[in-house]
Amino acid sequence: MMLKVLSPLHIGKGDELTPLDIYPAENTVHILNVEKLITELTDLGVSFGEIMHLLKNPPENAYIWKGYIDELRLSVSDYTLYTLRLHGEPGRRSMRIKEFIKLNGKPYIPGSSLKGAIRTAVFYKVLKECGDATTAMNAVSGVDSRTGRELGYSDSLIDYYINTVSRERRINEKRADDRLEAMVFGMERDGRFGVRYEPKRDPMRGLIIRDSGPIGKKHLAVYRVDVVGNPQPIPIWVEAVEPDAKTEIEIAIDKDILRMNENHFNGLLWECLKDRGEPWESFEGFIWEAVEEFYRAVIKAEKRDFPKFGRYSGTVKTFYSSLDGYSGHLLRLGWGSGWLAMTIGILLRESRRWESVRKKLNLGRNPHGRGFSRDFPKTRRLADGMPMGWVVAQ
């Protein structure tokens, strides 16, 4: 398939470019060959001790190489590894840039990122279509009868999840949905928690997505990301693939894995597939239906929240209106995608008890004081006025 980027896409690798790595120019950021620059500065008479002192004790608010290059009237291009277009204002005296993941110096889209986006959509569809209490109870009882009985007192698997979180005195926010994931994708008995996720019982093993091919650096740029909804501006800079960039991706369905493990898979996803006939035949269609339903629901939720984008409401509205013209599978992935696109939050918000549960999970807590925001998610990240991470697979 061909994957086309529709809005700035950032998939990080955990590294950052700092003021020690860059030279900001008008609408451009130069990524420097620092080793070469140091060598030539010392040849020009700059004290090596002075340079080492600055490297060991870098000022937080200064582009130190810019000072040397400008003062000595050097050509920055002589020390540039590559340049990136800059969308938005640079930091006046410093900025840190989150790097895009690369292989051999070239950006690419990891298959795991794309599969994660699809998995979230499948999670959503299974809970919506097959998450009734009876279906869930029948699936779970074969693994743990006690948990199965508990499900019988709930209206749905979502209702069971809300009830469970509400009752627990202590909860690990990062693992709060582990049991829910187990029941949907594949599970084994756990003496403490009833059931736990077991990857070997997960039909998503049958979905294989390779890393994309390399994306030319000409499609990579630096974006200033604005956090809308925060009381104080918090500018963030990222390397991101620009809209209209394209790359090939390979997606395969391994029917043999699905067929050979038909008696081993046991989650609600497998129950959903069995309702359609032979699961290995309906698997691919189910996946793309899930992608269509989930990301259309995300778009609908975003459209309802247009006023929350403040001065960017017009550009955001224009962007989402443009998505109606694309054929193929719309997905959202990468950093800045937002809570709604990376969770089953659309379903959770339908529960009247969600507000109390999300506070128990510390979602929306004020980082600078006590209390919680009234509206969650409160903030959104926009790059050049656009929601981040939208792509279409065709």
For 2-55, how does the pLDDT look when each residue is reduced to its tens digit (9 = 90+)? Answer: 999 999 999 998 999 998 899 999 899 999 999 999 999 999 998 888 888 877
Q: CA 37, CA 54: separation in Å to the nearest integer?
A: 14
Query: Which pLDDT score, from 0 to 100, does residue 175 have?
Result: 77
Q: CA 210, CA 115: separation in Å to the nearest integer?
A: 9
Give the residues of the chain that fall short of pLDDT 70.
59-61, 367-370
Nearest Cα to 262, choosing from 254, 252, 272, 274?
A: 274
Q: CA 287, CA 125: separation in Å to the nearest integer?
A: 9
Instruction: Name the one residue in this structure whose structure tokens are 């209490």.
Output: 133
Q: Put the strands of the sheet holding 390-393 in their side by side order.
A: 246-248, 2-5, 390-393, 329-332
pTM for the whole structure? 0.93
Nearest Cα to 275, choosing from 163, 151, 170, 134?
A: 134
Query: Which pLDDT score, from 0 to 100, does residue 359 have?
Result: 83
CB atoms within 10 A of CB 230: 13
55-97 pLDDT per residue, tens: 777 766 678 898 889 989 999 999 999 999 999 988 887 889 9
Region at 127 (left for phi over 0; alpha for psi -120 to 50; beta for the rest)? alpha
DSSP label at 335?
B
Write b or e for each residue in 172-204: b if 16 or more Cβ atoms lie within 10 A of its Cβ, otherwise e.
Answer: eeeebbebbbbbbbbbeebeeebbbbbeebbbb
Query: Which pLDDT score, from 0 to 100, does residue 78 have?
Result: 95
Query: Which pLDDT score, from 0 to 100, does residue 167 have?
Result: 81
Report domain extents, the chain: 7-108+214-241, 111-211+246-393
Give the amino acid at 323. Answer: L
Q: CA 121, CA 127: separation in Å to the nearest integer?
A: 10
Own/partner pairs, 74-77, CB within 8 angstroms, 24+ separation: 74/40, 76/23, 76/25, 76/30, 76/32, 77/30
Nearest Cα to 349, choosing from 298, 287, 284, 307?
A: 298
CA angle 23, 29, 32 (to 5 degrees): 50
Per DSSP, the three-state class of 68 is helix
DSSP label at 189?
E
